[in-house]
Amino acid sequence: MPKAITYSRYGGPEVLEIVDIPMPEPADGEVLIEVIAAGLNPADSRLREGLLAERMPAHFPQGQGSDFAGFVRATGRGVTQCEVNDAVIGHASRASHATHLTVPATNLTPKPPHLPWEVAGGLFVTGTTAWAAVNELGISAGDTVVISAAAGGVGCIAAQLAALRGATVIGTASERNIDFLRQIGVIPVVHDGDIVTSIREAAPNGVDAYLDAFGGDNLETARALRVPPGRVRSVVDWDGVLDYGSDEYGSSEHGVTEPAAESELRADARGVAIVAKLARLAEQHRLLVPVSDIFPLEQVREAFEELDRGHTRGKIVLGMHPVGYAHQHIHEAIWHGVPLKEAAATVDVPTEHAPMRVRENLPPVLGHLPGQRHPHPSDELAEEH
């Protein structure tokens, strides 16, 4: 029987429940999706905790989750964009943490055949959020940009998109992520200690733009660095951006115009097109999309506990058919320096990609070959208007 994650009151991960649901039926223009993988995002936690209740109230029992990858299992009348059994990537507002769901067919883009399911399932929200932030900041060649939490889901992709535009990227992160940031072409700065001084040492000519992907005192750091108000964005602290003097919503002529958790534009034609490009780049190993953890649906509470700690590298994903090694083994490979561990796909659906290797503390970037360089594209996504 189909299952979904819901909650009936605001709170932490403990309020999440797995419930049986009737098999959804697609309406006109909709499709039925069997979900294979679905991403977790910090906005899911803020919505569940009621921190956004004034803007986006819950309707109990409330579903959750936005991005997913899966198979089309049925189509409603008028659907021409896809067919039954197509593999797709999509967006479903507060509904993706489920085994089955219905969405408008316009919310979907084909999943590249060689892109692993766990990468595809967590790409939509982080990908569109990162692209929107870089675009809103107007990053161009010669800029120096600071990105907080640069090893996280949004920060990692934003850093690479900024670099492909020719910017120098400085990323703040914990010490254990220094090597990882260097791997993706980012100048790492440990966020402990006097971070303002550390950033000034890394950017002696000043900072042109600042993207906060974590919250906390990052906007104060940007102010201390004298970053112009119009070139500061946060995907977390929207009110703080307003206080800083920057436009919370950005310019309507530069793509996604609302804060990350509130934007539905990521599911429109432009957002779908952006994800399609990002998916192709990831499939071609030209964009590094790390997946730090894959949890089965039954461990959704544990998955959010891990997310809420705020120290993940890349994405956390729910896998509806997880196989291979369990999530705690991935933890061992990352945090405890296991010299070498090999595994094939971690979601039990055929996907054509090579087995991965995890060396020392490098992240399990599923679908990439060991020791492979990931050059930044010089053309695709360099400018989007």
pLDDT band, residue 328 (cuts 50/70/90): very low
Q: Which of 290, 300, 374, 299 is nearest to 122 (CA)?
A: 290
- Under a CB-based contact definition with an 8 Å cutoff, are residues 63 and 78 in contact? no
Q: Where are the beta strands (DSSP E) in the chain?
A: 3-7, 17-20, 30-39, 62-63, 67-75, 87-91, 100-104, 108-110, 144-147, 168-173, 187-190, 209-212, 232-234, 291-296, 315-319, 340-343, 356-359
- Under a CB-based contact definition with an 8 Å cutoff, are residues 241 and 219 in contact? yes
Q: What percent of the chain has pLDDT over 70?
A: 77
Which residue would you say has higher pLDDT here, 340 or 290?
290
pLDDT at residue 323, as a whole number: 61
For residues 316-344, give the mean pLDDT.
48
Q: Is residue 328 part of a domain?
A: no
Q: Report in angstroms the alpha-carbon separations of 287 from 162, 243, 281, 360, 381.
A: 12, 34, 5, 21, 11
> What is the Cα gyration radius of the chain?
20
Statement to judge: residues 14 and 118 lie in one domain: yes
Statement to judge: residues 174 and 209 lie in one domain: yes
C-alpha neighbours within 13 Å on the C-beta side of residue 204: 0
Q: Apex CA 279: angle with CA 165 and CA 174, to 5°?
A: 65
170-196 burial by CB neighbour count: b if 16+ within 10 A, else e?
A: bbbbeeebbebbebbbbbbbebeeebe
Which residue would you say has higher pLDDT here, 221 or 216?
221
Statement to judge: residues 21 and 119 lie in one domain: yes
Statement to judge: residues 107 and 202 lie in one domain: no
Contacts of 381 (CB under 8 A, 6+ apart): 131, 161, 164, 274, 277, 278, 281
3-state percent breakdown (helix, strand, coil) of the chain, nearest 5 = 30, 25, 45
Residue at 140: amino acid letter: S
Statement to judge: residues 92 and 147 lie in one domain: no
Could you list the residue range(s) of the whole structural domain that residue 208 is in?
127-244
Q: What is the CATH number of the domain that holds 79?
A: 3.90.180.10
Residue 342 has pLDDT above 50, yes or no: no
- Give CA–CA dist 197/170, Å, rounded: 13
220-235 per-position pLDDT tens digit = 999 999 999 889 999 8
Statement to judge: residues 19 and 38 lie in one domain: yes
Statement to judge: residues 238 and 274 lie in one domain: no
Statement to judge: residues 100 and 18 lie in one domain: yes
- Give CA–CA dist 85/70, Å, rounded: 9
Q: Is residue 147 part of a domain?
A: yes
Number of domains comprising the chain: 2
For residues 160-175, give the mean pLDDT.
95
258-282 per-position pLDDT tens digit = 444 444 345 688 899 999 999 999 9
Q: Is residue 18 part of a domain?
A: yes
Q: Report in angstroms the alpha-carbon separations of 92 from 69, 121, 139, 216, 264.
A: 10, 12, 29, 29, 10
Q: What is the CATH number of the domain that holds 204?
A: 3.40.50.720
Statement to judge: residues 81 and 20 lie in one domain: yes
> What are 182's two structure tokens?
């260097």
Q: Is residue 334 part of a domain?
A: no
For residues 123-130, give the mean pLDDT.
95
H helix intervals, 227-326: 238-244, 269-283, 300-308
Count of CB atoms situated within 10 Å of the CB of 135: 22
Residue where a domain terminates, one of 244, 272, 299: 244
Statement to judge: residues 9 and 23 lie in one domain: yes
Residue where a domain terminates, one of 244, 271, 301: 244
Q: Is residue 305 part of a domain?
A: no
- Give CA–CA dist 345/367, Å, rounded: 8
- Residue labelled with tokens 């692993």: 116
Q: What percent of the chain has pLDDT over 90?
A: 68
Statement to judge: residues 114 and 165 lie in one domain: no
* Alpha carbon 184 to its chain's center: 16
Residue where a domain terminates, one of 244, 273, 307: 244
pLDDT band, residue 335 (cuts 50/70/90): very low
- Give CA–CA dist 224/222, Å, rounded: 5
Statement to judge: residues 74 and 153 lie in one domain: no
